[in-house]
Amino acid sequence: DYTKKVLDILKAKNVKATFFIIGKNIEGNEDILKRIVKEGHIVGNHSFNHQNWFNTKLPNQIIKEIDETNQTISKVIEYNPRYFRSPFGLTSPNVANALKKTKYK
């Protein structure tokens, strides 16, 4: 509900934004994801499960979550995000290594 309200406000003010998408939340909300792109906003990757211990995972586990979210996003909008935002803004050397390997910003 909040995302739709935010999109309405952004549209009314003619402002573009970046939406970081949690993979597990896409199912059932495909129309919102399509609307985000249709209205000219950027889609970013925000992991699949959004766990508070995400930054403690090994780089290959982090890459798996990033890839799973990308695959889920691309099934809906045929788009591959290039930006990643770690859950809760947490980072670690493992997150940095995963992002370096996947060339995410």
Cα gap 1→57, rounded to integer Å: 31
Give the CA-trace dihedral at 78, 20, 3, 13, to 10 degrees: -90
pLDDT score of 68 more than 90:
yes
Q: Give the pTM.
A: 0.90
pLDDT score of 75 more than 90:
yes
Q: What is the pLDDT of residues 32-54, one digit of tens each?
A: 999 999 999 999 999 999 988 89
